[in-house]
Amino acid sequence: MSALFDGFWALLGLKVLVSLLVILNVALVIIFAELKISAHMQSRVGPYFAGGRYGWAQPIADGIKFIQKEDLVPRDADRPVFKLAPMVVLAGTVAVFVIVPFSPTLVVRNLDLGVFYALAAGSIATVGVLMAGWSSANKYSLMGGLRAAAQLIAYELPLVLAVVGVVIHAGTLSMSGIVEAQAEPFFHLGETAIHLPYLFQGQVIGFGIFFIAMLAELSRTPFDMPIAESELVMGYLTEYSGIRFTMFFLGEYAGMFAMSAIASSLFLGGYYFPGLDSATFGPIVLMAKVGLLVFVMIWFRWTFPRFREDQLQSFAWRWMVPLSLVNIAVTATFKVVF
Amino acid sequence: MTAVDRHRLSMHHSEVQVSVELQTPDMTLNLGPQHPSTHGVLRLIARVDGEVIEEVEPVIGYMHRGYEKIAEVRTYPQITALVNRIDWVSGFANEIPFMVATERLMGLDVPERAQYIRLILTEMARISSHLVFLSSFPLELGAATPLMHALRERERVLDLIEGVTGGRFHPNFNRVGGVKPAAGAGSTQKKVIQDLPIEFLEQSRQAMQYVRDVCDDLKDLVVGNEIFMERTKGIGIIPVDKALAFGVSGPNLRASGVPFDIRKTDDYLPYSNFEFDVATGENGDCFDRYTVRLEEVIQASRIIDQAIDSIPSGELQAKVPRIFKVPQGEIYVRAENPKGEMGYYIVSEGGRGPYRLKIRSASFSNLSVLPWLLQGQLVPDVIAILGSLDFVLGDVDR
């Protein structure tokens, strides 16, 4: 019994603990980044007092405030589903991190079907959103939940199809395998080996589609129709308060982290950067790439209006799906020819 | 069985029906009176099929303050304080038609300098009102940043209005026969009075430059945005005949292509001394309503620039006794307010206050087009259309 506990379970416990700590802390950092970046884009100062300097403790203060709030459940709500929904969202998001490689060795579990798993786990969060919308007994929540579901169906397909190009290139579905494949020299220029991430190996369209679909999957502007505060009050979040709202909130930002980490691993070379030792600098390199993508997402959020639901659908089916199919065909042709 | 139980039971019935017959019954969606996008307390009872509006019934009156009735027991100077609370986004502009109507009934000649000050402040009120629209309309489409940028420049304009009148939103600055001496410009009791604050003209000229700059920014960043065009072009079209039939006025009417501007047709203020263009749209959709107002801000800044250059010196007020009576008579004076045509119909029986005051407010008439306009639209478009009509609930309900 003790041997079992020492080995497998201790390691598992440690992994879960470390992952959760890292993910939630990064989510807090992203929240802070969003507060500050949006403020500066709008000629404001942003959080200023919390923590004494630069308002660095603002997300923590917000979190403490939310936890103190009453946990309201509407009378007509479907109680178990209503209470479960935020957990599903958070759990689905956190589960994605299982396969994200932070360095050649720093990975929770290197699954052979890593990409497949990531995309599957990533869409669990949308089920949580649908649950929240349905169980709230609120018309705005319902519309928000249905919009989220429609969005998932429309954008899951281009998301998966965009990845296929990378998978064809790398010849593996394992995330670590894909990153290592990008660490291989793309070609040699005389004596120097040129390393390029897949983004610069011809997967520009793939990356573009992945990024747009990612925004839609995360309900970030310009695809934030499920929340759409000017239309649906707060969408599926309308009836949530206190700790449950916090879970949704953390889930959203953890989701940004998760999807950016996947996008960086698939298209931007993950933990690998030419000239830097992956074993030591891997996590820093990956976080830098994640930071870049997160910044672009925040940038979009504060500069774009949002699409309309039907425009989103027609954009997905008429442009993104055909384009990603073309991308697959071209990638496969090159792979076979060269 | 309580009412709640019965309600739940009936909900269950309808759910069963849905699953068996695959019907989708219409849902009644209550937009407002407390909803982020109804600009106050407008309530829309919408029958929606999915996200498509089948029928919509606006419910107004939550903001009714009975100004027309109150006016019957108030004196004319007291009513000034009431009327600038009608459309609080452009408080100053509301006072003008009422003052002009009263002065015409009394046969007063308003000094030219007072008229120029009125005109400058009216146009500033127009700019501040339109900047609120230009910044909050993108917010309704989900873009939060233009709000901050445009409101920053609006603050300069409000500061100027405050400098002259002492109030940001509710100036209460006009007096029958002219304008009040400026706030902080010396005692009103003494003979020596100053009208405009020091450097007001210079600061106005500077503020107009800032306003034009932010308009350029909005032109590039909002009007030029692909998603913005996608969301507004061809949405909520009001054809000319419908616009005229519903009594739509102001920028909403001009967006439909009717070049009707009361500043050009009437002479309630000396607009004929200045050069400015009447901005018109082509299609009468949300996009045109946005660009027309954007152009109007630029034209208003043009007018202010010209007025600053040519403002005459002289008296601020015509000779009016402190307590006065208005001769018997009836008059209607209208003005081109930021929201549209605003008019006051005064019936005087020769007393210190009006016998009856009828207020024709622009937002009320503009809003009447809603039930016709919103039919068959999608919920997100409803928000866009509501925003593009640019109404203020205080102006609707009075």
Average pLDDT value over all residues in chain A: 82
A221 reaches B (C-beta below 8 A): yes
pTM of the model: 0.82
Residues in A touching B382 (Cβ below 8 Å): 231
| Paired strand residues for B333 | B344
The answer to whether residue B54 sits within a structural domain is no
SS3 state of residue B378: strand
Q: Name the band, by pLDDT with cuts 50, 70 and 90, for residue B191.
A: very low
CB contact (8 A) between residue B139 and residue A230: yes
The answer to whether residue B354 sits within a structural domain is yes
The answer to whether residue B46 sits within a structural domain is no
pLDDT digits (tens, 9 = 90+) for B105-116: 888 888 888 888
Q: Name the band, by pLDDT with cuts 50, 70 and 90, for residue B385.
A: confident
Residues in B touching A43 (Cβ below 8 Å): 148-149, 152
Question: What share of chain B in percent tops pLDDT 90?
Answer: 1
SS3 state of residue B332: strand
Per-residue model confidence (pLDDT) at position B13: 46
Per-residue model confidence (pLDDT) at position A336: 79
B143 reaches A (C-beta below 8 A): yes
Which range, of A44-53, B16-25, B178-187, B313-322, averages the lowest pLDDT? B16-25
Segments making up each domain of chain A, as ranges? 77-337
Total domains, chain B: 1
Provide the shortest C-alpha distance from residue B29 to chain A (in Å).
7
Provide the shortest C-alpha distance from residue A262 to chain B (in Å).
27
Per-residue model confidence (pLDDT) at position B23: 62
A225 reaches B (C-beta below 8 A): yes
Which range, of B37-41, B169-173, B368-372, averages the lowest pLDDT? B37-41
The answer to whether residue B31 sits within a structural domain is no
Per-residue model confidence (pLDDT) at position A203: 78
Residue that is written with structure tokens 């866009």 in the block: B384
Quick one: average pLDDT of A237-253? Answer: 84
CA distances from B200 to A163, B12, B90, B204 (A): 62, 67, 20, 6
Alpha helices in chain B (DSSP H): 3-21, 67-71, 76-83, 91-106, 112-140, 145-165, 200-218, 226-232, 240-245, 251-255, 262-265, 286-310, 362-367, 370-374, 379-389, 393-397
Residues in A touching B228 (Cβ below 8 Å): 305
Quick one: average pLDDT of B222-237? Answer: 85
Q: Which domain holds residue B247?
A: 67-397
CB-based burial, A272-293: b 16+ in 10 Å, e otherwise = bbeeeebeebbbebbbebbbeb
Quick one: average pLDDT of A111-125? Answer: 81
B234 reaches A (C-beta below 8 A): no
Residues in A touching B227 (Cβ below 8 Å): 222, 304-307
Average pLDDT value over all residues in chain B: 82
Per-residue model confidence (pLDDT) at position A13: 81
Cα(A44)–Cα(A145) distance, integer angstroms: 33
Per-residue model confidence (pLDDT) at position B1: 44
Per-residue model confidence (pLDDT) at position B135: 86
The answer to whether residue B274 sits within a structural domain is yes
Residues in A touching B27 (Cβ below 8 Å): 139
pLDDT digits (tens, 9 = 90+) for B296-348: 999 999 898 888 888 887 777 777 777 888 888 899 998 888 888 888 999 98
Residues in A touching B147 (Cβ below 8 Å): 42
The answer on pLDDT for A3 being more than 70 is: no
Residues in A touching B47 (Cβ below 8 Å): none
Residues in A touching B378 (Cβ below 8 Å): 308-310
CB contact (8 A) between residue B143 and residue A304: yes
Provide the shortest C-alpha distance from residue B37 to chain A (in Å).
5
Per-residue model confidence (pLDDT) at position B141: 83
Residue of chain A minimizing CA distance to B153: A43
Q: Which of A222, A229, A231 sits opposite B379 (nearest CB)?
A: A231
Residues B70, B82: contact at Cβ < 8 Å?
yes
Per-residue model confidence (pLDDT) at position A2: 53
CB contact (8 A) between residue A233 and residue B148: no
Residues B145, A236: contact at Cβ < 8 Å?
no
Which range, of A19-33, A51-65, A70-84, A266-280, averages the lowest pLDDT? A266-280
The answer on pLDDT for B17 being more than 50 is: no
The answer to whether residue B20 sits within a structural domain is no
Per-residue model confidence (pLDDT) at position A331: 83
The answer on pLDDT for A288 being more than 80 is: yes
CB contact (8 A) between residue A308 and residue B380: yes
Per-residue model confidence (pLDDT) at position B33: 78
The answer on pLDDT for B190 being more than 70 is: no
B149 reaches A (C-beta below 8 A): yes
The answer to whether residue B76 sits within a structural domain is yes
Question: What share of chain A in percent tops pLDDT 70?
Answer: 96
Higher pLDDT, A338 or A176: A176
B3 reaches A (C-beta below 8 A): no
Cα(B57)–Cα(B363) distance, integer angstroms: 16
B153 reaches A (C-beta below 8 A): no
| Paired strand residues for B341 | B336
The answer on pLDDT for A221 being more than 80 is: no
Which of A291-295, A313-317, B390-394 is modeled with the greatest confidence? A291-295
Which residues are within 8 A (CB) of B201 and not within 5 positions of it... i.e. 6 or more apart?
A: B308, B311
B233 reaches A (C-beta below 8 A): no
Per-residue model confidence (pLDDT) at position B247: 86
